[in-house]
Amino acid sequence: MEHNLSERIALLRFPLIVGIVFLHMYTAEVAHVPIGEVASIFTILSYYMSNVLAKVVVPLFFLLAGYLFFINFQYSFGSFLQKYKSRFRTLVMPYILWNLIILAFYTIAQTLPATAHYFNGERPYVFLLHGHELLELFFGYGKFQYPVAFQFWFIRDLIILVFLSPLIYLALKKIPYLLLSFFAILWIFGLYEDNILKTDFFSTFFFCLGGFLALKKYNFSLSDRYAKEIMILYLIVSFMDLYYQNEILENISVFIGTIAVFTASKYILNYQNLKKNLIKLSRYSFFIFALHEPMLSIVRKVSFKFFTPQHDFYVFVLYIACPVLTIVVSIYIYKLLEKILPNILNVLVGNRVSPKVVSQYIGTKS
């Protein structure tokens, strides 16, 4: 992979994670508009940020995951075995560990009188579930669409797609346009309700699209030539999505948005300090992703209860402040674990801690 392209992927990771946190910040407290009143500019802005702009983030992550999985890939048993071993460390182990941690957290938080009222509806009462229901909640199937650590549905879908990667590879080689068209239609027109695996077909479409671009060795500079036109088109379509709030138009906006956001990354390469800082911050991305819920929910509920904002402006201030606080606290917790428990941190983030960092702190302790 070209150095230029790897830098663009690296510098995007942290902003995309920030987008996920803001995506999950948009709840009833933020969205509330009294009946008969016109939404204020602050309400509209928060909706646009979370339900239009941030909707691009997860599809782009799937596209990049598919691209990185199939780039320079050779179809052989050894290649798939190597990929499976790698993804077991980076996907399966973090999925199991974080869901166990969050499961234990909810079990305790829902039983303690001091905290129970903060966890009385968004998640099922863990201590009331039977054995098979716990399994359904853990993996996000059956009557539960999401795992107990609900943001990890993204990792769950990736695990399924990686498991099916030999079939995906063959399809991308033999019938790529038919495959992509099939999943695009299922996704854009919402024809995926109640599927067995509880996966959204947009995850399959964008993963396959990323794999297709990797196998075709797509030259991203081709779309870079039309960067300004792509971003202008996205702004137009995204404002249409904001105004009409139509599902099909939303999906079209998301598709164009994934291209626009990645294309926009080429401009960041021209600002050395910004590029370096974003690449440095990227190492915190997975940890923020894993930890931001239920932390964000706690910060949001406590903040809204303590400040009880009565004006949309103050609601918007909390809408910005809660994600920022969650991200900052997550980074400080990461740094603390990096100093005192680097090996455990490395397992929690799927071997994404630099080996130099781990060996440095182990050496210091010894």
Could you report the per-residue pLDDT of 139-160, keeping only the tens digit for each?
Answer: 887 778 789 898 999 999 999 9
Our count of domains for the chain comes to 1
Rounded CA-CA distance 342/357 in Å is: 8
What integer pLDDT is reported at residue 145 of this predicted model?
Answer: 78
Residue 310 confidence (pLDDT): 82
pLDDT at residue 355, as a whole number: 56
pTM summary value: 0.91
Q: What is the mean pLDDT of residues 312-319?
A: 92
pLDDT digits (tens, 9 = 90+) for 51-78: 999 999 999 999 999 999 999 888 888 8
Helices assigned H by DSSP within the chain? 3-25, 28-31, 41-48, 57-70, 77-87, 93-109, 113-116, 131-139, 153-163, 165-174, 176-188, 201-215, 221-224, 227-244, 247-268, 272-281, 285-307, 312-340, 342-348, 355-365
- State the pLDDT confidence band at 288, using cuts at 50, 70 and 90: very high
pLDDT value at position 366?
Answer: 33
| Burial of 134 from C-beta contacts in 10 A (0-12 / 13-18 / 19+) | middle
User: How far is it, in rounded angstroms, from Cα 51 to Cα 41?
Assistant: 15
Q: Give the pLDDT of residue 239.
A: 95
CA distance 137 to 132: 9
- pLDDT band of residue 358 (cuts 50, 70, 90) is very low
Q: 195 pLDDT band (50/70/90 cuts)?
A: low
Mean pLDDT across 219-239: 91
Query: Residue 209's domain spans which residues?
Result: 3-365
pLDDT digits over 72-89, tens only?
888 888 888 999 999 999
Tens of pLDDT, residue by residue over 199-216, are 578 899 999 999 999 999
Mean pLDDT of the chain: 88
Q: Please return the burial class of 54, using the count of CB atoms within 10 Å of its CB with bins 0-12, 13-18 and 19+.
A: buried
